[in-house]
C-alpha cells in the first residue's frame, strides 16, 4: 500500500494535519480517535481524560471551532483558579497574591522577594525559582507543587521547562496586585463545549475520510532509508513523508538505530493518574474551576470542577496525581489512591459524609508531562534534524516532546502541511 503522507496517531495534531492534506493515511493504535482529547459520558457526567479548556488565540481556529457550534453548545468562563494553602483558598498565582497569606508568612515572602539573588544564567528550574522569587515563595508553593506535578527533582529540569506557561511576575507586579487584583495569564478566559473536548475532535473528523484512517493498528517498524513502515496487521506502507504525533520516546523505538533507543531510554516524564468523580449533589465549592494543592500530605496536586464550568447541579470533578515514569500503577495502587482521595476531599471540605459517589473512573496518562532539560533537548533537536533528511517529522506536545497548548499543536500541524 502506498500513501504520500503517513501520519502516526489520531490525536489533535494528527487529525489537524490531515485536515490540510489530501493524500494521507492515519494509523491509530486505539479503537477510537482523539488521543487525550476523548470525552466519556458516564450517567449524568461529562468527563474528559483530564482538564481541557480552550482559549483560541488564532482567528482561523477560533472560526473553525466556535463557528461550528451554536451559542448554546458551549460555555465561556472567566477563569476562577485558587491554591489550597493553610486550609484555605488564596488566589492563583501564588507569587502575586502573597498579601492573602497570614501576616507572618506575607512578611517572609516579601522580605525574601526583595533580597533574592538573581543571576543572568540559571542552572536549572529550581535554581530559577529561588533566583526569581526568593526562598519563602519557592518553598511555600513553587517547589512543593512542581515536585508533586513533575514527580522529579526540579534540578533535573531546564530553567524554561514550562516556557510561556509559567506565571512569572516581577516585584512591581506583585506589589501592584496587593491594591488591585490583576490575576491574568495566557488563558484568563476560556471556552468549553457542553459535550466536552470530544466536540473539537468531532469537528476535525468531519473532513477525515474513513478509508484513510486505520484504527486498532500500530506501526511496529520504520525503514527510513526505503521509506517503508510495517504495521501490526502485517501490511507494509510505502510513503513519501512520515509524520509522527505519538510520544517521541515510543516513536524512537520503531527504528533499528541504537542511538535512537538510547535517547528513548534517557527521556523522562511523569505519569498522571486521573480520577473522574461524580457525586449526588453540589459542593460548597460552587464557583471554583480548578485548585492547585502544594501540600504533600494530600495525594493530588490539582482538582477541577466540571460542574462549576458547565453550571451543572451535581459535583463532577477531576483529580490529578503525579508519578515518576517507572512507577507501576496497578489496581491495588488505584484502589488505595481513590480511598485516599476521598479522605482528602473531606479534609478540604469539598465533600462530607452526606455525599454519595455516584460514578467514577480512572485514567492513566503515560506520558503526561514531559521533562525538559538542556542535554536531552539538544539530542532531540539533532535526531529530529537527522530524521527530516529522510522526510520524517515529529510534531505536537508529545511528538515534539515539549510543553505546549492544544492550539499550539494545531498551528504546528497546519504549518507543516504547507511544507509537505
Per-residue pLDDT tens digits for 186-202: 567 888 999 999 999 99
CATH of the domain at 317: 3.90.660.20
Same domain, 168 and 239: no
- For the chain, the domain total comes to 3
> Considering the domain boundaries, does residue 46 fall inside one?
no
Q: Is the pLDDT of residue 8 over 70?
A: yes
Report d(CA 251, CA 263) in Å as an integer.
Answer: 11
Residue 64: the pLDDT is 84
Tell me, yes or no, whether 189 and 79 share the same domain: yes
**Does residue 43 belong to any structural domain of this protein?**
no
Same domain? 101 vs 139: yes
* pLDDT grade for 55, boundaries at 50, 70 and 90: confident
pLDDT average, residue stretch 113-120: 91
Kindly report, residue by residue over 140-160, the tens digit of the pLDDT.
999 999 999 999 999 999 998
**Distances, alpha carbon 74 to alpha carbons 48, 185, 408, in Å:** 15, 22, 21
Strands 88-91 and 228-231: unpaired
- What is d(CA 374, CA 189) in angstroms, rounded to the nearest whole number? 32
Within a domain: 335 = yes
Split at pLDDT 50, 70, 90, the class of 62 is confident
Q: What is the CATH number of the domain that holds 254?
A: 3.50.50.60
Question: Does 44 map to a domain?
Answer: no
Is the residue at 316 inside a domain?
A: yes
Task: Kindly state whether residues 246 and 354 are assigned to the same domain.
Answer: no
The number of beta carbons lying within 10 Å of the beta carbon of residue 175 is: 15
d(CA 250, CA 397): 13
> Is the confidence at residue 181, as pLDDT, over 70?
no
Tell whether 189 and 284 lie within a shared domain. yes
Domain-located, residue 45: no
Q: What average pLDDT is seen over the chain? A: 94
Pairing assessment for the beta strands 74-78 and 189-193 based on DSSP bridges: antiparallel
Domain identity same for 278 and 361: yes
Residue 413 and residue 262 in contact, taking contact as beta carbons nearer than 8 Å? no
CA 352 to chain centre: 30
Question: Domain range holding 260?
Answer: 2-37+196-268+372-417
In a domain, 255, yes or no: yes
Cell for 165?
506557561
The pLDDT tens digits for 222-272 are 999 999 999 999 999 999 999 999 999 999 999 999 999 999 999 999 999
Report the pLDDT averaged over residues 38-50.
92
Question: Residue 360: pLDDT band by 50, 70, 90 thresholds?
Answer: very high
- Alpha-carbon span 295 to 298, nearest angstrom: 6
What pLDDT score was predicted for residue 183? 53
Q: Quick one: 24 and 157 in the same domain?
A: no
Length reported for the chain: 420
DSSP state of 10: -
In percent, the amount of the chain with pLDDT more than 70 equals: 97
Helix (H) / strand (E) containing 271: strand 270-279
Max Cα distance, the chain (Å): 70
Residue 133 belongs to domain with CATH number = 1.10.3110
Tell me, yes or no, whether 280 and 362 share the same domain. yes
Check whether residue 308 and residue 343 sit in a common domain.
yes
- The secondary structure of residue 195, as a DSSP letter, is T
Residue 133 pLDDT greater than 90, yes or no: yes
Exposed / middle / buried, residue 282 (Cβ in 10 Å: 0-12, 13-18, 19+): middle
Residue 204, Cβ density class (10 Å: 0-12 exposed, 13-18 middle, ≥19 buried): buried
Check: CB of residue 167 under 8 Å from CB of residue 53.
no
Give the Cα separation of 310 and 291 in Å (integer).
16
Q: Is the pLDDT of residue 324 over 90?
A: yes
Residue 66 is assigned to a structural domain of this protein? yes
* pTM tops 0.75: yes
Residue 138 pLDDT grade (very low, low, confident, very high; cuts 50, 70, 90): very high
Q: What angle do CA 115, 118, 121 make, to 5 degrees?
A: 165
**Can you tell me the mean pLDDT for 344-354?**
98
Strand partners, 323: 271
Residue 50: its pLDDT value, please? 73
Separation in Å, CA 70 to CA 73, 194, 215, 403: 5, 11, 30, 31
Amino acid at each position: 500500500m502506498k500513501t504520500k503522507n503517513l501520519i502516526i496517531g489520531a490525536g489533535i495534531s494528527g487529525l489537524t494535519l490531515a485536515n490540510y492534506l489530501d493524500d494521507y493515511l492515519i494509523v491509530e493504535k486505539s479503537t477510537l480517535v482523539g488521543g487525550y482529547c476523548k470525552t466519556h459520558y458516564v450517567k449524568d457526567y461529562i468527563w474528559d481524560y483530564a482538564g481541557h479548556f480552550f482559549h483560541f488565540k488564532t482567528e482561523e481556529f477560533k472560526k473553525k471551532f466556535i463557528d461550528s457550534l451554536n451559542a448554546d453548545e458551549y460555555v465561556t468562563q472567566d477563569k476562577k483558579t485558587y491554591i489550597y494553602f493553610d486550609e484555605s483558598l488564596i488566589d492563583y498565582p501564588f507569587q502575586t497574591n502573597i498579601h492573602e497569606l497570614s501576616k507572618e508568612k506575607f512578611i517572609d515572602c516579601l522580605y525574601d522577594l526583595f533580597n533574592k539573588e538573581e543571576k543572568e544564567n540559571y542552572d536549572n528550574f529550581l535554581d530559577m525559582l529561588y533566583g526569581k522569587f526568593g526562598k519563602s515563595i519557592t518553598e511555600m508553593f513553587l517547589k512543593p507543587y512542581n515536585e508533586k506535578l513533575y514527580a522529579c527533582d526540579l534540578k533535573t529540569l531546564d530553567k524554561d521547562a514550562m516556557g510561556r506557561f509559567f506565571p512569572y511576575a516581577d516585584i512591581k507586579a506583585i506589589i501592584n496586585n496587593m491594591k488591585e487584583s490583576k490575576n491574568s495569564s495566557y488563558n484568563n478566559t476560556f471556552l468549553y463545549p457542553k459535550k466536552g473536548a470530544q466536540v473539537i475532535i468531532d469537528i476535525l473528523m468531519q473532513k477525515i475520510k474513513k478509508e484513510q484512517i486505520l484504527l486498532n493498528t500500530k506501526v511496529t517498524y520504520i525503514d527510513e532509508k526505503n521509506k517503508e513502515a510495517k504495521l501490526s496487521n502485517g501490511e507494509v506502507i510505502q510513503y513519501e513523508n512520515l509524520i509522527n504525533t505519538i510520544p517521541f520516546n515510543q516513536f524512537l523505538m520503531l527504528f533499528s538505530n541504537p542511538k535512537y533507543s538510547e535517547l528513548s531510554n534517557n527521556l523522562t516524564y511523569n505519569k498522571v493518574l486521573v480520577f473522574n468523580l461524580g457525586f449526588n449533589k453540589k459542593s460548597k465549592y460552587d464557583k471554583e474551576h480548578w485548585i492547585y494543592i502544594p501540600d504533600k500530605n494530600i495525594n493530588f496536586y490539582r482538582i477541577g470542577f466540571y460542574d462549576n464550568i458547565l453550571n451543572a447541579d451535581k459535583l463532577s470533578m477531576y483529580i490529578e496525581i503525579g508519578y515518576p515514569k517507572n512507577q507501576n500503577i496497578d489496581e491495588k495502587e488505584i484502589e488505595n489512591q481513590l480511598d485516599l482521595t476521598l479522605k482528602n476531599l473531606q479534609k478540604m471540605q469539598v465533600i462530607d459524609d452526606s455525599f454519595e459517589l455516584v460514578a467514577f473512573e480512572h485514567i492513566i496518562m503515560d506520558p503526561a508531562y514531559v521533562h525538559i532539560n538542556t542535554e536531552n533537548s539538544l539530542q532531540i533537536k539533532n535526531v529530529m534534524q537527522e530524521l527530516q533528511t529522510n522526510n520524517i517529522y515529529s510534531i505536537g506536545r508529545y511528538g515534539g516532546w515539549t510543553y505546549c497548548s492544544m492550539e499550539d499543536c494545531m498551528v504546528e500541524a497546519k504549518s507543516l502541511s504547507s511544507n509537505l
